[in-house]
Amino acid sequence: MTESHDMIVIKDLYKHFDSIKALNGVNLTVKKGKVIVVIGPSGSGKSTMLRCINHLEVPTSGEVWIDGKHLGKKEKELNAIRAEVGMVFQLFNLFPHLTALENVTVAQKVVRGRSKEEAEEIAMKQLIRVGIPEKADAYPTNLSGGQQQRVAIARSLAMNPKIMLFDEPTSALDPEMIKEVLDVMLDLAKEGMTMVVVTHEMGFARSAADEVLFMDEGLIVEHTTPHDLYNNPKEERTKLFLSQILQH
């Protein structure tokens, strides 16, 4: 595998929910090890694009390849591909009936067929990596938002994903917890993980992103480096959007 190997390829992606046109022809190629930040106004299709990448949402039309594998209709193949694509949600979506450790082991055992011991060993390594091994036996309700999100990241990482997708991972967090989650994500980026991150955290985009996408009305309107996008956006819509988020 070379550096320029394509990890995600999206071609002519459309997603319509009845009359709502969430995606209207998205094309994107993400090279291995790249970090892509996605920004755009509410309802512009950012989440939908992310969810189409692992076919959590089945596209209306268009094609997706993950590491060269085409995503088709067969459930078994889709499950296998999804296991390779980690996803982190805005509201964490931890499993509340399981401890932090069990949250990280369950899919390893069920999907990867790992033994309890092996899964727990890997889970502990991931919990150490995200900085909360001491919370292994805590239930999600007893964890802060930041801790929950870090467990969610560990849960995805334990599957040894090739790609990590983040959908506004810090926007449900209190300000003092945002940094602890972003730090974990920065480490991941440095280690060479291929990442697509929907976030309005400009600091993260500037320090970790290789490319930034601006989406509007289900289309990628601008696709460039963080520096160019934030400093001299070309499109009017991008300028308007940036001026709005910078005010806040």
Partner 1 sequence: MDNSLPVSDEKASMQLKDISWWFLGLVLIFVWAIYIFLTKENYQEAFNFIKIGIQITIKTSLIAYVFALMLGLLAGLGRISKNLFFNNLSRLYVELIRGIPMLVLIFFIALVGVPMLVDGINALGVWLTTIGLASIGETLSGFGNKAFTMNGRAIFALSITYGAFLAEIFRAGIQSIGRGQMEAGRSLGMSYGQTMRHIILPQAVRNVLPALGNDFVAMVKDSSLVSVLAVRDITQVSRLYAGSTFRFREAYVTVSIMYLTITVVLSLLVQVMERRLRKHD
Q: Where on the chain is the footprint of ligand ATP (CB under 6 A)?
A: 17, 20, 22, 40, 42-48
Site for partner 1 in 125-164 (CB under 8 A): 152, 155-156, 159
Scanning 78-86, 123-131, 177-185, 208-216 for contacts with partner 1 by CB under 8 A, the matching segment is 78-86
Nearer Cβ to ligand ATP (15/32): 15
Nearer Cβ to partner 1 (30/229): 30
Decide: 54 and 165 in contact? Cβ < 8 Å. Answer: yes
Site for partner 1 in 186-205 (CB under 8 A): none
User: Residue from 9, 56, 124, 242 that binds partner 1 (CB under 8 A)?
Assistant: 56
Q: Which residue of the chain is nearest Mg ion when measured via CB?
A: 47
Nearer Cβ to partner 1 (44/148): 148
Rounded-to-integer distance, Cα 153 and Cα 219, Å: 28
Rounded-to-integer distance, Cα 196 and Cα 34, Å: 8
Residues that bind partner 1 (CB under 8 A): 54, 56, 75-76, 79-87, 89, 91, 93-97, 106-107, 110-111, 152, 155-156, 159
Residues that bind Mg ion (CB under 5 A): 47
